[in-house]
Every structure is written in structure tokens, then in C-alpha cells.
Amino acid sequence: MPIDGNLYRPLALVWVIFQLIAHVCATPIDIASEFRVKDLPGLSLLPPLEQPVMHAGHLELYAENSTNYFFWKFERPPANSTIKSEKLIFWLNGGPGCSSMDGALMEIGPLRIGADGNVLFNNGSWMEAADLVFVDQPGGTGFSYTDAYDRELDEVAGDFVVFLAKYFRVFPQDLAKQVWIAGESYAGQYIPYISRAVLDENAKPEPAFGGPVALEGALIGNGWISPDHQSLSYIPFAVQENILSKTDPSMPKLLKQHEQCQKVINSRNPEIRKVESPQCDSILDVLLEVTKDNSASQDKQCINMYDYRLRDSYPSCGMNWPSDLEYVNPFLRQEKIGEYLNLKKMRVWNECDGQVSRYLRARHSIPAIDLIPDLLKEMPILLFNGDKDIICNYMGTEAMISDMKWDGKYGFEDSEDTTSADWFYRDDSAGFIKIRGNLTYTRVYGTSHMVPFDKPEVSRGLFDIMTRNYKPVTVDNSTGVATPVYGEDGSTSFDQGSGSKEADSDQTSRPSPSTSKGSGSKLAADRSWTFYAFVLTVFMIVMYGLRYLYKNLTSRPSSILSKYSKMNPDSPGRDFSREVSPSGGASVAGGLLKFNHSNPKKKSVRWLDEIQTDNQGFSPEDPENGIFGRVLNKFGYGDQAYQPVDRTDDIEMNGIDQFIIQEEDEEFDGLGRDAER
């Protein structure tokens, strides 16, 4: 039966109202509220200005292999939000397979764990400068889980693109923010791959994120970026830092292993680039072995590879560090904490997962160093190193930079393009800075493999350096730059103390964002009474419209034959489902990254940045979630307990000619160490 003009208006009204209801019910406000962290032990004891707004939980990436990523988001509390943050940092720890809860609870996050199991406020949190999101990835790391482990770095990058697409569905307001990706250790491999994948996804006509991500830059601390190259730094670093003497009886054994690594590098086909080699990995193993002090107590026989000022048992050699693990481990393994963090399926938390490391060998991946020169054409990158770290030491990073070519030049060549400065925080010398083009390098004095763990407030200045939020100063007749001191109310000051004075410029240097931002509105995290009042009002309007429509239909004259026939008026069809993840993942220009999730993915890589943990992998899916189905998330379970891992790492090193041997490669069948980077 044709629709009469008098009926068209109520039908159209009802259709529009249903569209409105569907939109309201599907709004991310609803989804985000499901992830709200409402309490933690000791949280209520903190002053209001120190109680962050938190969201946490799992986001399902691929249903077919139960891949779910866990995230924990921190924002400044409303009482401390004089200026709403327009900056967002995604933080990744390394391993591979080490949980980013290290970063959340022992490094840059706003909370630390006390001996009594209560949360404490971290005065050096980067949350004062930006909102923070800590992600356990790849699948199987920390609270994340999967049935298919990643094996290659392009798979890791593709999965993170899918995660971001899911994340921005839940928090669409964050798509308008300036985004940085930061992390440490083996994240030196993750971050360049992920950055490349995000930029490539942004270039598509319809990015999976719902729009382009304003990727402003990346920060990599003590990064494992060029493993074989950096491994050549171990012996020179040990000698320079007086860990080992040039005349030590063990030197021939060390030099023999060093030679094996150099041979591999010299004989390698330049067209075939591998992330790391066991011959180079083993240099650190030998170094830790020959420096073992059998006369010391059992818990102090080995040098801590992450901070050579400390000692540990052998062969752990730092795997039981940092000391806060004593509190973090039991805290995250409590069932009630899992409930607070919205874990629908409990998984025993381990700092590092050995399964992830064993699968993510990256045998067909190129080292991340090969991606950085092209990335520098599109975004800034800051590399920073603590000067007390052995495994990813500053000499290796500086040598790597010297041999890297970008913008037509190698390293920080003497030129007008390179800027160098001492870095001060308050009245203290914090480190030094070198800048050329889009690359910034900072060495941080008196810090370990985990710079923010040792000096939280100083480390926050790294983000200020990245965003050029510093000021020229003169301290004790030495000129340099100072990063700001943050107040409790979120304000910043460049008052460095009585021993310092500002230099010529009285303006804070702040760069203009190089990436365009959206204008998205700020959405409330939780539903309020106004939300429910609105829904009730819409419902009443719908009922009134239906009643009006019914009266019109029943009051119209009809044929006496109509009662013998069924009337099926057409109504507009509408698909309210929304696909969250791209089917193809991300790709890197030149075919370097190909995300193919048709096969189970697994990861295994050997690094020392953290400890073992259980992992599971995942395959891609293109889920079509209904209006309400999108609020559901899958969660995984794991029961592998924390335990120290055998060490298998590579480290960075400075170029020291006397240790370079020009010979061909030889076969090597050494044992690698599964360790965290």
C-alpha cells in the first residue's frame, strides 16, 4: 500500500528518533564508562589532586584467536585540570614480552605501590604533562592474552594499529589530541615499526582510526634499536666504566666472542638484514660470567646488567631488579585488583612472559634502525639513555647514531645543523642534549636502564625536551637549558633555585605542532542523570509518535478485502553495527611491513629489559559489533608465575676501532639468553 503523504511525516519522525536512540545507545560514552577504574587500595587516602581519572580493561582485537590487549589510561583529576590536556602518550615496555605495568607503576605513571600494598603518588609522573595510556602488547604480555603469538615485528605493528582503532572507538575525543609513542628497551624495535604503520594507515582515504592520528613524535629510552651494532659496545663500555680492566685475564675470552660478532656483521649480505645474531648476543653473557665475584655473598655475585652500581645473584644479574617488583608483583596478582581493572577473565600477572619472547624471534624482520631515517622525514624522534645501564648502554646508542645517515649526513656531524647543550633540572646537571633535524639525543646522568625509575622528575623533562618546552639558563657559570618544575596544580615554573639564573631569552621555546589535529569535543567519562533523562524523553516521544501513527493507520478507510491480506509496509533498513578493525592491518612503504594474520602469530625474542611472562597470540578479525555488542570484551587467563629468565641480549655500543676485526663469518652454536630488553 502506498504511504499517504499524511503518514509520511510521522513515519519519518519515528525513523529519525530511532536513529537518534541507536546513536545515543551506541555512543562511546557508554563504552568508556565500562572501563572506569573506580577504586584501588589506598586511592581514597590520597589528596584529591593526586587521584587520577583512570580507565582500564581489555579491548578485543581478533575474536577467532581470542586476542585481547589490556590498557590502563591515566588523566589528571578534574580538580587539577586548570588546562585540559591536549597531549596523549602511549607507553610500551620491552622484553619482548614485558608488561607496560612496569611503566605505569614503577616509571612514568602517577602511582607507585607501597610496602603496605596501597598506592602512592609519583611526584615525577609524566601525567602532569600529558594523558598516559599503558598497553600490554604484543598478545600474551602482562594482562593481555591470545591463542596465536606474533613472530615478526610487522605483525606487532599491525596489531597495534588494530588496537588503536579499537581504542579510538571507545575514546573518540582522544583522536583530537597530539599523540606520542614512548617506551624503552626492546620497544626500540616496537616503536619505529608501529610509527611507520600508523603513518601508513593515516595516509589511507579512510584510516581505521576514524580519522588520522596526530602522531607528533616518538621517545625511546635505552632502546635496543640496532642489536648487533650495539652489542659491540659491551667491552669498550666495561673498560671505560672500570667494570673490567684491559689487562684482565678474561679479556682474551671476551675478545674472541667480540670477534665472532664482528665477523657476522662483516660477512652479512647487506641486502639481508637481521634484527640480531646469537654471536653478538653472547658477548654480554660472557662479560657477566667473567666478572662474577665468587667471594661475594650469593645474592651479590653478579653485576646488575641494568645498573652496574648494583649487584645481584648469578645468573640473574639484574633480573630481580628493580626493587619495587617486591610490591608490584603481589599487588597485580590480587583478584580484587583484577576486578578494579575490569579484567573479565583473570590472568596471573608476570612482569615478563617467556612465551612471547620465544615466539617473537623476528627472523624475517629488519632491525628498526633501518626504518628511522625515513621516519625522521615525517616526525621527530628522541632517543635517551641512562648512563649506568650495561645491556643497552649509551656508548652503543651513540655509536649507532654516528653510523646512521639522515638528512644527507651521518650522525651529529660538526655543522650548523647540530645543536648541543647541557641540561639542568632545578640546580643540578641532569645530562646533555644533541639535536639535528628531527632527531634529539639525550644522555641522562646517574640513571639506569629505567631512567624514570631512578629520577622521575628529571625524566619528565625528557618529554619537555621533546616538545621544546625548555628555557636557556646559566647555572654556576655554565650555560645550557632547563626544563620546568611542575606544581601540584599542573602549573610549571622555570625557577631553578637560587644558584641559577635565566639566560638571554625570557620566552619558553614551544614548537608548533607538525601534525594536524581534529576538533573533537570532550565527552564525559560517565553517564549522568541528564543522560538518562534524555533517553527517557526520547522514549516518550517515540511512544507518542507510534501512537499517532497507529491512530492514522486505523482511522483510514480500507477495502473490505484488506482483512484477508497481510500488509507489509516497507521500512528503511539500517545497519547499526560498526566495524572496528581494518582487515588488512597496516603496511610499510616499500613492502617492508606486510600484516598477514591468516596464520597463527607468535613472538619470541630474547632481551633483558624485563622478566618472563605468559603470552598468547592473535589473528586479525573484522568484528561487526551490534549496538550493544560493542561494549563486550574478551579477557584471557594465564597462570605462569614470575621467575628469572636466562639472559639473551644485545646492547648498544660506541665505535671503538681497536675492537673491530675485519674477518669473515664463522658458524656459531652458542646458547642464547631469554631476557628482557
* Active-site residue identified among 66, 125, 144, 185: 185
Please tell me the distance from the alpha carbon of residue 356 to that of residue 638, in angstroms, as a whole number.
Answer: 13
449 is catalytic: yes
**Residue 287 is inside which H or E element, if any?**
helix 278-290
Per-residue cell: 34: 565500562
**SS3 per residue for 320-338:** CCCCCHHHHHHHHCCHHHH
CA nearest to 40, candidates 101, 88, 93, 82 = 101
Q: Is the peptide bond before 138 cis (omega within 30 degrees of 0)?
A: yes
Q: Which residue has the cell 542523570?
A: 529
Check 281, 312, 353, 389 and give the catalytic one. Answer: 389
Output the CA–CA distances (angstroms, integers) from residue 389 to 54, 250, 342, 397, 528, in the order listed: 32, 21, 36, 11, 49
* Three cell numbers written together for 362: 623476528
Q: Is there a catalytic annotation at residue 370?
A: no
* Contact between 615 and 138 (Cβ < 8 Å): yes
Task: Kindly give the pairing relationship between strand 87-92 and strand 178-184.
Answer: parallel
From the list 493, 499, 454, the residue with the least C-alpha distance to 476 is: 499
Of the candidates 290, 321, 324, the residue with the CA atom closest to the CA atom of residue 304? 321
Q: Name residue 618's amino acid.
A: F
Q: Which of 55, 258, 449, 597 is labelled catalytic?
A: 449
Angle, in degrees to the nearest 10, between helices 187-202 and 153-170? 60
Chain-centre distance for alpha carbon 397: 20
DSSP string, 32-64: HHHTB----TTGGGS-GGG--EEEEEEEEEEGG
Q: Is the peptide bond before 322 cis (omega within 30 degrees of 0)?
A: yes
30 is known as an active-site residue: no
E strand or H helix at 200, and its extent? helix 187-202
Rounded CA-CA distance 75/89 in Å is 11
Residues belonging to the active site: 185, 389, 449
